[in-house]
C-alpha cells in the first residue's frame, strides 16, 4: 500500500512513471502536459540522472524522448548525501537485488537506488509503478524499510489535484 504523506512538496519520478505519462499524447491531452511542464518548472517533479539514462532506451514515444531532451535539469547528478544513502540501501544484503545480474554484466543503468536516495535526501515522495510485495527488493519495499513516502502515478495526480 502506498504511503500517505500529504505534506510532500517534491515528487521523484521513477522511469516507469514517465512511461505512464507518455500514454497521454500531447496533441490529445495538452492540459496534462501543461500541468507536467508547470510542475517541472515549479520544482514539484524531479528525477535523477539514471532515470534519464534508462529513458534513453525505454522512451519509445517521440514526445517523451523530446520532453526528456528538453528538460536536462530534471535529471540532476546525485549529491554526496544521496550517494551515501545509496550505500546505506546496499548495506542491506537483500536490497542488493535492486541491481540485476544482467544490468551488471551488460552495464545497463540502474535508477532505483538513486530515485529512492533522492526522495530520502530531498524529503520527497517516490512516484513508481512498482508494487509493494512481501519479501521483494523493489522500490516500495526499500521505501517502506527506510520510511520514505511512495505512490503510483495515479495517486500522484490525485495528491497534486490534477483533474482534467
How many angstroms separate the first and last alpha carbons of the chain? 25
- pLDDT one-digit tens code per residue, 70-89: 999 999 999 999 999 999 99
Q: Are 147 and 141 in contact (CB under 8 A)?
A: no
Q: What is the pLDDT of residue 103?
A: 65
Q: What is the pTM of this model?
A: 0.92
| pLDDT at 2 exceeding the cut of 70 | no
* The C-alpha cell that represents 144 in the structure block: 517502506
Q: How sure is the predictor about 63, in pLDDT bands with cuts at 50, 70 and 90?
A: very high
- What pLDDT, in 10s, does the model give residues 5-35? 556 789 999 999 999 999 999 999 999 999 9
Judge whether 19 and 56 are in contact, CB under 8 Å: no
C-alpha cell belonging to residue 71: 528538460
Domains and CATH numbers, the chain: 11-159 (3.40.50.1010)
For 8, counting Cβ atoms within 10 Å of its Cβ (0-12 exposed, 13-18 middle, 19+ buried), the class is buried
Amino acid at each position: 500500500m502506498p504511503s500517505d504523506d500529504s505534506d510532500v512538496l517534491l515528487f521523484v519520478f521513477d522511469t516507469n512513471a514517465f512511461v505512464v505519462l507518455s500514454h497521454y499524447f500531447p496533441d490529445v491531452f495538452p492540459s496534462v502536459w501543461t500541468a507536467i511542464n508547470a510542475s517541472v518548472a515549479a520544482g514539484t517533479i524531479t528525477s535523477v540522472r539514471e532515470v534519464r539514462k534508462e529513458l534513453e532506451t525505454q522512451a519509445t514515444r517521440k514526445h517523451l524522448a523530446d520532453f526528456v531532451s528538453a528538460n536536462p535539469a530534471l535529471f540532476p547528478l546525485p549529491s554526496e548525501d544521496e550517494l551515501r544513502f545509496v550505500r546505506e540501501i546496499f548495506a542491506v544484503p537483500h536490497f542488493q537485488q535492486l541491481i540485476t545480474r544482467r544490468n551488471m554484466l551488460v552495464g545497463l543503468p540502474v535508477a532505483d537506488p538513486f530515485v529512492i536516495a533522492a526522495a530520502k535526501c530531498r524529503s520527497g515522495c517516490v512516484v513508481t509503478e512498482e508494487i509493494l510485495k512481501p519479501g521483494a527488493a523493489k522500490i516500495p519495499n526499500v521505501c517502506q524499510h527506510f520510511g520514505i513516502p511512495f505512490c503510483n502515478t495515479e495517486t500522484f495526480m490525485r495528491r497534486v489535484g490534477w483533474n482534467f
